[in-house]
Structure 1
């Protein structure tokens, strides 16, 4: 592991033992006996992980994390793992309820301790990356308000047989406050996309069967690919099993007797983290879509369309396939704005885009690249077929007037279209941006010809050679 860990432990023997265990795993290990020493040690280099005893003399571990975060503004807060006395369930519950990312019993085997800390680092880095992307999105002006409604979480519990799964799922549901679906191995691996789960507990309450090995299989199927996976292992090899599960991709793992109360707390934390991560990913996805979409028409914008044209033109030239570029421009659009206002002009543009989409195939690219100018890229389309598509589009737009909302008026509009085709025998032409520029220039010239010869028509420049 890389990064810095800060160990805050009052007992000198435990500090020494932890430093020896973690020294080879972290780039830097800081140690302190209380909060004051911890703040001083972290001043020069804020830690990625805070590993703090539950019984610090001068502050609670959760409060120490807040102070460390305030001391390093602009740095993501450290992940917090609280060290609790062996077998002290109450201390673990208190730490989790206070907001700790993990509660780890003193004396936990080194392999499981390291696996838990690796998981905390992964979670922290993933969250920091998503938040950075979200900050970029907000800076670009693509921020959206959070969703007002969130559906109830869907959770499941997998055990070796349905009877055990039902019994434990009911016990967990009573602590969790939501329905928990009981599953056996076959049922879990047979879940379809419509059965998608937000969280899944994999338990070996008997200590007789390994469940960690199921983690990769569950990560590979659609229904559980993004679910929070929590593994519970029992028996003599429980700590080894839990460590293996964490390193295979589980979000959390417990070793020891089945404890519905602690499992519920950990599961609630994982569900909350998943909701935050899902929301950030959704916001990012929407932000990326907004960055390449024209907000008025819903078509792609120039920023997206031109690089895509260059890519498709290069591919077509390399494969010896035809490709046609269509540039369409609304006729007398300024007169529409002057006569009816810009709101009416926006309605005309949006309706034109709708009719344009309706005339194209899946795989064609349509974009608004100027005020009333549209670009269409038609892969695997020769001049004859492109001409037919363009004429059909002209007819769609001219045939039906555009209704203007709130006015009771209709306005008839027409469109002129210029075509340029890269013929299928154009293999070996210069690829990329220069070829795309050539196609655009030729389509523009053809458009000018359509405008000059009466508008509401199609003109083609057949060769881009």
Structure 2
């Protein structure tokens, strides 16, 4: 059994009854008679969820939320679910307004209670993983991206009555569009929603049954799904919706105010998670990209070349590499400054990129040296590509930033290839093959420099 659930309730019989209900949670359960006792337990042993009574005598929900964050000391703080009396709607709304992750009626049946706990645990683990990756990204030295502007959320309500749409729009403080089952399942990629509330009643299948289909549909895959189940079997439907992937689910009559509070909280969590994912993707891109030219960097290019070379040697497929080096680049830096040199490097990269196909790989090896990998191309095709690169570099002078002048730039290129006709070679020679391929291309580059620059030289020996 892993993980801990804290129960904080001043009434001993309620604590004991709730612990019995949580047998199916497969977590260690720790009991506390007050908020302060629960916080002290959380300091001793990190907990995943705190189930706190709404009528704790010593701490309000807002105070509990704040102090749980302080207790975590940089780790993921416990999710906070507030237990409210059965008929106390105001207590539920107050708890949600104060920042509780969930507000659960105390008489909720065990299956729905456990489903709500599983949802809280999933959300907490997902957020903790994203924050860990974000911490790794920062540790690697990637700068914090600027905060973006949050556009208004695109929210739809699957409901049979327009009055429900109007009530939710008023409570949410923003437009909520009405949609029917046919419309929601016909949404295209350009109709992506930020949130969808499923509250349709009637005699048809429960709206919760749509959750798997919506999770598999592009327009709603990443949307917040909130289910309002009503009628007979509402608690079972809500539990099913949560376990199928809904972010939240209610059982009972339509309550626009509570739905709006839950919807706002789930959308805020989604925005935070989206930002963390965006930061992660930006960090991954930065790890393999040269910041000046936008091409792949050496860290990415050399392992990729080793893999492609190994594949070519095993399968007999052709592979060629070009090493391109700008001619007399130091003279440009000396005459015009390093800013001008950087502009020349960036424009060289842009011209290289425009001349290649999608399957080709271009990287900056360092300084003024570039690597181009041509999968499926033999030496003859590589020479044609090299001559084209020489021409597009030399034929148009490079404009210099902040100056009314331009500079003529040329490039020398060395080529080496793994000839497909040579037939398969044992896979163990792959990494050595990549190193040898680069060495031959480098020798060819020196030959091009020695023969006058602004030309292509190909290494002719077998791979």
After TM superposition, the score normalised by the length of structure 1 is 0.96
Distance in 2 (alpha carbons) for counterparts of 1:120 and 1:431: 51
The aligned residue for residue 232 of structure 2 is 236
2:301 to 300, 305, 309: 305
2:436 to 435, 438, 442: 438
How far 1:88 moved relative to its partner? 1.1
Sort the Cα spacing of 1:208 and 1:238 in 2 relative to 1 into closer, same or farther, 3 A.
farther
Distance in 1 (alpha carbons) for counterparts of 2:113 and 2:203: 20
**Is 1:373 matched with 2:369?**
yes
Sort the Cα spacing of 1:227 and 1:357 in 2 relative to 1 into closer, same or farther, 3 A.
same
Asked if the contact 1:158/1:201 (under 8 Å) is kept, the reply is: yes
Sort the Cα spacing of 1:320 and 1:39 in 2 relative to 1 into closer, same or farther, 3 A.
same
Distance in 1 (alpha carbons) for counterparts of 2:295 and 2:316: 28
Distance in 1 (alpha carbons) for counterparts of 2:31 and 2:275: 36
**Is 1:86 matched with 2:72?**
no
Asked if the contact 2:301/2:363 (under 8 Å) is kept, the reply is: yes
The aligned residue for residue 188 of structure 1 is 184
Distance in 2 (alpha carbons) for counterparts of 1:460 and 1:345: 28
**Is 1:55 matched with 2:83?**
no
1:428 to 425, 429, 432: 425
How far 1:148 moved relative to its partner? 4.2
Distance in 2 (alpha carbons) for counterparts of 1:355 and 1:67: 56
How far 1:27 moved relative to its partner? 2.9
**Is 1:288 matched with 2:281?**
no
The aligned residue for residue 363 of structure 1 is 359
Distance in 2 (alpha carbons) for counterparts of 1:315 and 1:279: 37
Q: How does 1:43-442 map to 2 (within 5 A)?
A: 43-159=43-159, 164=160, 166-206=162-202, 209-425=205-421, 426-429=423-426, 430-442=428-440
Asked if the contact 2:61/2:99 (under 8 Å) is kept, the reply is: no
Structure 2 counterpart SS, 1:150 = coil
The aligned residue for residue 454 of structure 1 is 452
1:168-188 C-alpha deviation (Å, 9 max, x unpaired) = 222211111222121111111
Size of the alignment, in residue pairs?
461
Distance in 1 (alpha carbons) for counterparts of 2:245 and 2:23: 24
Asked if the contact 2:6/2:31 (under 8 Å) is kept, the reply is: yes
**What are the ranges of 5 or more consecutive residues in structure 2 without an aligned counterpart?**
none
Q: Which is further off, 134-143 or 165-174?
A: 165-174
Asked if the contact 2:360/2:373 (under 8 Å) is kept, the reply is: yes
Asked if the contact 1:83/1:105 (under 8 Å) is kept, the reply is: yes
How far 1:203 moved relative to its partner? 1.2
Distance in 1 (alpha carbons) for counterparts of 2:462 and 2:84: 73
Sort the Cα spacing of 1:445 and 1:184 in 2 relative to 1 into closer, same or farther, 3 A.
same
Distance in 2 (alpha carbons) for counterparts of 1:105 and 1:294: 54
Q: Which is further off, 12-21 or 115-124?
A: 12-21
Distance in 2 (alpha carbons) for counterparts of 1:249 and 1:111: 16
Structure 2 counterpart SS, 1:132 = helix
Distance in 2 (alpha carbons) for counterparts of 1:436 and 1:183: 57
1:139-159 C-alpha deviation (Å, 9 max, x unpaired) = 222123433422110011123
- CA-based RMSD: 1.5
Q: Which is further off, 312-321 or 288-297?
A: 312-321
How far 1:9 moved relative to its partner? 1.1
Q: Which is further off, 95-104 or 179-188?
A: 179-188
Asked if the contact 2:79/2:124 (under 8 Å) is kept, the reply is: yes
How far 1:325 moved relative to its partner? 0.8
Sort the Cα spacing of 1:435 and 1:15 in 2 relative to 1 into closer, same or farther, 3 A.
same
Structure 1 counterpart SS, 2:31 = strand
Q: Which is further off, 109-118 or 179-188?
A: 179-188
Distance in 2 (alpha carbons) for counterparts of 1:67 and 1:91: 20
Sort the Cα spacing of 1:214 and 1:410 in 2 relative to 1 into closer, same or farther, 3 A.
same
Distance in 1 (alpha carbons) for counterparts of 2:437 and 2:161: 63
Distance in 1 (alpha carbons) for counterparts of 2:320 and 2:90: 70
Distance in 2 (alpha carbons) for counterparts of 1:69 and 1:351: 49
Asked if the contact 2:24/2:114 (under 8 Å) is kept, the reply is: no
How far 1:200 moved relative to its partner? 0.4
Structure 1 counterpart SS, 2:100 = coil
**Is 1:25 matched with 2:22?**
no
Distance in 2 (alpha carbons) for counterparts of 1:283 and 1:312: 29
Distance in 1 (alpha carbons) for counterparts of 2:462 and 2:175: 63
How far 1:463 moved relative to its partner? 4.5
How far 1:18 moved relative to its partner? 1.1
1:272-322 C-alpha deviation (Å, 9 max, x unpaired) = 111111111111111111111111111110011111111222222333210
After TM superposition, the score normalised by the length of structure 2 is 0.96
Distance in 2 (alpha carbons) for counterparts of 1:225 and 1:448: 54
1:202-253 C-alpha deviation (Å, 9 max, x unpaired) = 1133475312221111011110010000011001100000000000000000
Asked if the contact 1:65/1:77 (under 8 Å) is kept, the reply is: no
